[in-house]
Structure 1
Amino acid sequence: MSSLMTRGNLFDDLFRDLAPAFYVRPLHGDPLPSPAQIKVDVKEDDRAYTVQAEIPGVNKDDINVSIDGNLVTLRAEIKQEDRKTEGEKVLRTERYYGAVARSFQLAQDIDASQAKAKYENGILTLTLPKKAANNAQRLTIE
Structure 2
Amino acid sequence: MSNITRFDPFAADPMSDLFHGLFRPLRGGAGGEMQLADIKVDVTEGDTQYTVKAELPGVEKDDIDVKIDGNLVSISAKVERKHELKEGERVIRRERYSGAVSRSFSLESEIDEAAAAAQYKDGVLSLTLPKKAASERKRLPIN
Relative to the length of structure 1, the TM-score reads 0.69
Mapped to 2, the partners of 1:72 and 1:42 lie a distance apart of 11
Q: Give 2:68's aligned residue.
A: 67
Cα distance change on mapping 1:11 and 1:38 into 2, 3 Å: closer
Mapped to 2, the partners of 1:122 and 1:10 lie a distance apart of 25
Q: Please tell me whether the aligned partners of residues 70 and 108 of structure 1 are also in contact (alpha carbons under 8 angstroms).
A: yes
Of 33, 36, 41, which residue of structure 1 is paired with 2:36?
33
Mapped to 2, the partners of 1:47 and 1:10 lie a distance apart of 45
Shift of 1:8: 1.5
Match of 2:134, SS? coil
Matches within 5 A, 1:94-113: 97-113=98-114
More displaced 10-residue stretch of structure 1: 116-125 or 94-103: 94-103
Shift of 1:113: 1.1
1:51 equivalent in alignment to 2:60:
no
Q: Please tell me whether the aligned partners of residues 28 and 34 of structure 2 are also in contact (alpha carbons under 8 angstroms).
A: no
Shift of 1:10: 7.8
| Equivalent residues, number | 117
Q: Which has the higher helix share?
A: 1
Stretches of structure 2 that go unaligned for 5 or more consecutive residues are 1-23
Q: Provide, for residues 1-50 of structure 1, a one-character-per-residue CA deviation record: whole Å limited to 9, x for no partner.
A: xxxx98925899xxxxxxxxxxxxxxxx872324xx21110011111100
Shift of 1:132: 1.1
Stretches of structure 1 that go unaligned for 5 or more consecutive residues are 13-28
Q: Give 2:134's aligned residue.
A: 133
RMSD, aligned CA = 3.1
1:80 equivalent in alignment to 2:70:
no
Q: Give 2:13's aligned residue.
A: none
Q: Provide, for residues 55-80 of structure 1, a one-character-per-residue CA deviation record: whole Å limited to 9, x for no partner.
A: 11111111100000000001010111
Moved over 3 A (4+): 9-12, 92-97, 139-142
Mapped to 1, the partners of 2:81 and 2:101 lie a distance apart of 14
Shift of 1:123: 0.5
Letter of the structure 2 residue corresponding to residue 92 of structure 1:
R
Match of 1:131, SS? coil
Mapped to 2, the partners of 1:72 and 1:7 lie a distance apart of 36
Q: Give 1:24's aligned residue.
A: none
